[in-house]
């Protein structure tokens, strides 16, 4: 007690020290007095906590989850997030030119002779006009200038063009693929058709052709009836590639392509094999109703000028790359010139009319421009802005871009035409090539991920690629559809990962941009989701194969037991109600269970039977009088049908000339 304090002050202090608790300042003194038996109100209720002055807090769901995570894991996750965010401040990549005086020399030269913007703009228009004029003249010379006297303007053929369809696509006796003879066609073939390969197994009798040019036949010493008019007396089976056959016959040059006239030579009794001009043809020791050869003296002075057109566009893009620092001018100039070069010159779609080719190219160009704008805005601009390393840009960006745009001469040579399990297993070298590609992409991705971390953009791009991966997994899970990653899709997926201004990113971005252009200009925006039938079009579908047996066999006729119809295919979930028979790869019979008119003979034990007389090849009058008509072997293949839909055909069985039967091997053809 302070000795200087009065008794009245002490009493006031005592009252203040023992003033009762009030819930709020507004409460009166009387309302705040506690009585022993007074009802509890508001904060006067007892607290469940140890400290009655604290309110209860249940926490959020995040806090509940966080409380259950071990501290060590929390610390590891925090360290990972901090590492992923990168250094603070982030380090932005920028290319400092090597030998800057040399690399800036084109810019100094331009500033010396065209110091004003209007001068530079005029030069740019002059360069555009020069390229357009030169490129158009080369295309006109390559596509419109030739004419074959007496036969007119040649029709454009692709490297895979042929007369005959797969399986039973030509109908009974091949009637849908007529005429067989007495018809000619003036044609134009592109360059490099000797490398055109067939990617699905194609039956030639009991042989199979796959991953090689489809050429059956060639020059022969036998009488063809056209010895005086055909080049080298070379005849080819109707299912052969026309342009590859022309190269094999020596009629056109593979490096330049060419024009000429093909003539149909009707049924031929056999076809000989040979190796000529880099192509190995197959032999076929029996007849085929459709054949062709090339008329002597009709080769026209035309050539595929894709290489001169390439030189024109390479010079144009190189000049632009060296003399401009504008990202927009550089990017859009190479995009437009590359697109039309691929679509019209280096890898055009297989269309017979050039006007149709132009229409298709412009139809694909506009949607491709939208994808290119997105790529430029969010990827290429970061890499090209303020870049003055002119020679490095030309070598590291433009060079790989040409490698991608010329995919049909570069990466298309890899044995990875279709990334399906069937093709990967069947094609020689596909598995090592696929492993190499995957490892390359993996290590490149690691390098690009590090670059994202250095620039402080890793979390954002991890989210973007997480969305990409989730979308792909969703597509994979869709029933009844298969995911197919075309190379234009692969380019679009990987391009965002190259948005840096460093030398590796220039290489990757140029390469991916070229691949995108090649994919869209050549094939269009093909769907990433395809049905199994369209994905494996022309390949074996895994359908049920007929169980066929021979009831009787002689030199002149043979009878088959085709089994019961209809038959249920549990794997394909389809009922096969018909059967098709190919003789020497030509459909000779088609019968259905619901129509007895297809089956003239008696049924064998409830099964359907079919009878065939041996075919006699066409012979000349002298041969018929002398009785020298040859008896030839015949090859039989059988496949089920459901309405007009045809399943797989089995491998061929051989009916020998002496009447013996060589049983077919297991599996589809």
- CA 224, CA 181: separation in Å to the nearest integer? 12
Q: What percent of the chain has pLDDT over 70?
A: 87
- CA 588, CA 558: separation in Å to the nearest integer? 14
Cα dist from 122 to 106, 128, 315, 320, 481, whole Å: 17, 10, 19, 13, 53
Tens digits of per-residue pLDDT, 34-70? 444 444 444 444 444 444 444 445 567 777 777 788 8
Based on the fold, state whether residues 361 and 509 are members of the same structural domain: yes
Structure-block tokens of residue 448:
């690009």
> End of a domain among 294, 317, 339?
294
Q: What percent of the chain has pLDDT over 90?
A: 64
Based on the fold, state whether residues 460 and 497 are members of the same structural domain: yes
- CA 595, CA 603: separation in Å to the nearest integer? 13
∠ CA 213-216-221 to the nearest 5 degrees? 135
Residue found by looking up tokens 């991890």 in the block: 462
Q: pTM for the full model?
A: 0.81
31 has pLDDT over 90: no
Strands (E), 190-226: 202-204, 207-209, 217-219
Report if residue 573 sits inside a domain: yes
Whether the CB-CB separation of 306 and 189 falls below 8 Å is answered with no
Based on the fold, state whether residues 418 and 502 are members of the same structural domain: yes
Based on the fold, state whether residues 452 and 584 are members of the same structural domain: no
Based on the fold, state whether residues 514 and 394 are members of the same structural domain: yes
3-state SS, 358-394, equals HHHHHHHHHHHHHHHHHHHHHHHHHHHCCCCCHHHHH
Cα dist from 228 to 295, 322, 361, whole Å: 9, 58, 43
| Predicted local confidence at residue 57, as pLDDT | 52
Report if residue 10 sits inside a domain: no
Mean pLDDT to the nearest integer, 550-575: 91
123 has pLDDT over 60: yes
Provide the domain count of the chain. Answer: 3
Structure-block tokens of residue 172:
């009974």
- CA 115, CA 23: separation in Å to the nearest integer? 83
Report if residue 333 sits inside a domain: no
Tens digits of per-residue pLDDT, 477-517? 998 888 888 889 999 999 999 999 999 999 999 999 999 99
Whether the CB-CB separation of 234 and 294 falls below 8 Å is answered with yes
Based on the fold, state whether residues 517 and 619 are members of the same structural domain: no
Report if residue 126 sits inside a domain: no
Domain that holds residue 188: 155-166+174-294
> End of a domain among 294, 313, 333?
294
Report if residue 41 sits inside a domain: no
| Predicted local confidence at residue 606, as pLDDT | 65
Based on the fold, state whether residues 514 and 368 are members of the same structural domain: yes
Report if residue 205 sits inside a domain: yes
CATH number, position 257: 2.170.130.20
Report if residue 584 sits inside a domain: yes
Report if residue 104 sits inside a domain: no
Q: Which residues pair with 152 in a beta bridge?
A: 148
Based on the fold, state whether residues 370 and 512 are members of the same structural domain: yes
Structure-block tokens of residue 188:
């134009």
Based on the fold, state whether residues 286 and 423 are members of the same structural domain: no
| Predicted local confidence at residue 603, as pLDDT | 59
Q: What is the DSSP letter of 216?
A: B
Confidence band for 140, pLDDT divided at 50, 70 and 90:
confident
299 has pLDDT over 80: yes
> End of a domain among 257, 273, 294?
294
Q: Where are the alpha helices (DSSP H) in 18-60?
A: 29-32
Confidence band for 32, pLDDT divided at 50, 70 and 90:
very low
CATH number, position 572: 2.60.40
Confidence band for 599, pLDDT divided at 50, 70 and 90:
confident
Based on the fold, state whether residues 388 and 508 are members of the same structural domain: yes
- Which residues, including other chains, have CB under 8 Å from residue 75's CB and lie 6 or more apart? none
| Predicted local confidence at residue 49, as pLDDT | 45
Structure-block tokens of residue 615:
């075919």
27: helix, strand or coil = coil
Based on the fold, state whether residues 507 and 600 are members of the same structural domain: no
- CA 564, CA 566: separation in Å to the nearest integer? 6
Mean pLDDT to the nearest integer, 97-116: 95
């Amino acid at each position: 007690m302070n000795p200087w304090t009065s008794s009245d002050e002490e009493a006031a202090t005592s009252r203040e020290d023992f003033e009762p608790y009030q819930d709020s300042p507004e409460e009166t003194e009387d309302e705040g007095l506690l009585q022993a038996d007074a009802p509890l109100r508001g904060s006067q209720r007892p607290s469940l906590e140890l400290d009655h002055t604290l309110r209860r807090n249940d926490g959020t769901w995040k806090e509940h989850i966080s409380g259950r995570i071990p501290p060590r894991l929390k610390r590891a996750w925090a360290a990972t997030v901090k590492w992923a965010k990168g250094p603070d401040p982030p380090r932005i990549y920028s290319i400092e030119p090597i030998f800057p005086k040399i690399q800036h020399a084109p810019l100094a030269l331009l500033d010396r002779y065209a110091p004003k913007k209007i001068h530079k703009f005029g030069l740019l228009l002059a360069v555009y006009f020069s390229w357009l004029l030169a490129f158009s003249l080369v295309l006109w010379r390559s596509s419109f200038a030739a004419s074959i006297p007496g036969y007119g303007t040649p029709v454009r053929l692709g490297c895979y063009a042929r007369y005959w369809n797969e399986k039973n696509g030509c109908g009974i006796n091949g009637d849908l693929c007529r005429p067989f003879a007495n018809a000619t066609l003036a044609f134009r073939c592109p360059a490099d058709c000797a490398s055109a390969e067939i990617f699905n197994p194609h039956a030639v009798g009991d042989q199979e052709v796959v991953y090689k040019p489809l050429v059956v036949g060639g020059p022969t010493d036998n009488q063809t009836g056209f010895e005086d008019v055909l080049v080298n007396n070379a005849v080819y089976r109707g299912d052969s590639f026309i342009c590859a056959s022309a190269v094999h016959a020596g009629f056109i040059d593979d490096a330049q392509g060419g024009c000429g006239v093909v003539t149909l030579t009707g049924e031929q009794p056999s076809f000989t094999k040979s190796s000529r001009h880099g192509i190995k043809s197959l032999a076929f020791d029996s007849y085929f109703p459709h054949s062709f050869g090339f008329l002597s003296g009709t080769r026209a002075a035309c050539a595929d000028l894709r290489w001169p057109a390439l030189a024109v566009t390479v010079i144009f893009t190189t000049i632009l790359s060296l003399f401009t620092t504008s990202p927009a001018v550089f990017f859009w100039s190479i995009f437009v010139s590359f697109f039309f070069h691929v679509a019209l010159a280096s890898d055009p779609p297989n269309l017979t009319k050039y006007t149709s080719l132009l229409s298709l190219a412009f139809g694909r160009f506009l949607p491709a421009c939208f994808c290119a704008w997105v790529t430029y805005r969010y990827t290429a601009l970061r890499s090209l802005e303020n870049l003055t390393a002119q020679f490095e840009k030309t070598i590291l960006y433009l060079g790989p871009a040409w490698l991608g745009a010329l995919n049909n001469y570069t990466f298309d040579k890899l044995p990875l035409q279709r990334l399906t399990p069937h093709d990967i297993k069947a094609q020689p070298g596909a598995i090592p090539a696929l492993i190499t590609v995957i490892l390359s992409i993996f290590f490149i991705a690691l390098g690009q991920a590090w670059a994202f971390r250095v620039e402080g953009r890793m979390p954002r791009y991890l989210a973007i690629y997480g969305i990409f991966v989730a979308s792909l997994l969703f597509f994979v899970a869709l029933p009844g559809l298969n995911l197919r990653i075309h190379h234009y899709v692969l380019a679009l997926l990987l391009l965002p990962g190259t948005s840096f201004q460093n030398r590796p990113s220039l290489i990757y971005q140029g390469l991916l941009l070229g691949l995108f252009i090649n994919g869209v200009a050549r094939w269009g925006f093909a769907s990433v989701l395809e049905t199994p039938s369209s994905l494996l079009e022309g390949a074996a579908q895994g359908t049920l194969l007929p169980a066929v047996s021979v009831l009787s066999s002689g030199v002149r006729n043979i009878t088959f037991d085709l089994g019961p119809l209809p038959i249920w295919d549990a794997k394909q979930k389809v009922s096969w109600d018909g059967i098709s028979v190919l003789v020497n790869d030509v459909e000779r019979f088609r019968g259905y269970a619901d129509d007895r008119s297809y089956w003239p003979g008696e049924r064998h034990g409830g099964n359907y039977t079919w009878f065939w007389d041996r075919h006699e090849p066409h012979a000349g009058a002298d041969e018929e009088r002398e009785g020298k008509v040859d008896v030839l072997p015949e090859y039989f293949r059988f496949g089920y049908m459901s309405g007009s839909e045809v399943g797989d055909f089995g491998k061929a069985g051989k009916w020998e000339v002496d009447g013996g039967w060589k049983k077919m091997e297991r599996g589809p053809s």
